[in-house]
């Protein structure tokens, strides 16, 4: 909250069962709940055995610091994703999700922060869309994989 600029956003994947607690946490931190986006998954689906649910979508929760956003266009709250390979890192996400969000909610040269960079999916999307990027991760193997993904981008 301290470093987030006024009228900036936070968008985060959240496990479906944790939506209420994450919303509560973010509200208590001083953020405003803005919207929930549904990322429709492709391929073999996970199962939540305890609750007997087949998971075919994942939520992206959207929060704002401030009262409004300046957006050039409307953003669809439905993202038809594709299945990431997850060869080098088990938490790899589809680049479709990141590109969908960044294309509408950011502008060229704007700074994007991903505090859980993983494979660098958001970094790659940011660079493709000409955004500046800062990625952080506690896992040095993930950071190395992210660097490799970034280096594979055409110059």
pLDDT at 26: 96
Mean pLDDT of the chain, nearest integer: 90
pLDDT tens figures, 87-99: 666 777 888 999 9
Quickly state the pLDDT bin for 84 (edges 50, 70, 90): confident
Task: Enumerate domains of the chain plus CATH numbers.
Answer: 1-83 (3.40.50.150), 84-155 (3.40.50.150)
Contact (CB, 8 A) for 95 and 103: no
**Residues 123-135: what's their mean pLDDT?**
95
**Residues 48-71: what's their mean pLDDT?**
90
Judge residue 88's burial from the number of C-beta atoms within 10 Å of its C-beta, 0-12 exposed, 13-18 middle, 19 or more buried.
Answer: middle
pLDDT at 88: 65
Cα angle at 43 between 50 and 19, to 5 degrees?
Answer: 45
Q: Provide the whole-model pTM.
A: 0.85
pLDDT at 79: 95
pLDDT at 10: 92
**Residues 111-124: what's their mean pLDDT?**
91
| Per-residue pLDDT at 130 exceeds 80 | yes
Minimal CA–CA distance to 135: which of 117, 150, 110, 147? 117
3-state DSSP call for residue 114? strand
């Amino acid at each position: 909250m301290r470093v987030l600029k006024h009228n900036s956003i936070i968008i985060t994947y959240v496990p479906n069962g944790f939506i209420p607690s994450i919303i509560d946490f973010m509200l208590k931190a001083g953020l405003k709940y803005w919207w929930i986006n549904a990322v429709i998954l492709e391929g073999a689906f996970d199962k939540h055995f305890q609750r007997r649910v087949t998971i075919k979508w994942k939520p992206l929760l959207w929060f704002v610091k401030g009262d409004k956003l300046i957006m050039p266009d409307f953003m669809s709250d439905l993202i038809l994703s594709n299945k990431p390979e997850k060869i080098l890192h088990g938490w790899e996400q589809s680049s479709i999700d990141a590109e969908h969000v960044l294309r509408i909610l950011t502008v060229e040269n704007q700074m994007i922060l991903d505090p859980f960079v993983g494979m660098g999916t958001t970094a790659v999307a940011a660079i493709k869309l000409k955004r500046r990027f800062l990625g952080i991760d506690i896992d040095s193997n993930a950071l190395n994989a992210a660097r490799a993904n970034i280096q594979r981008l055409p110059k």
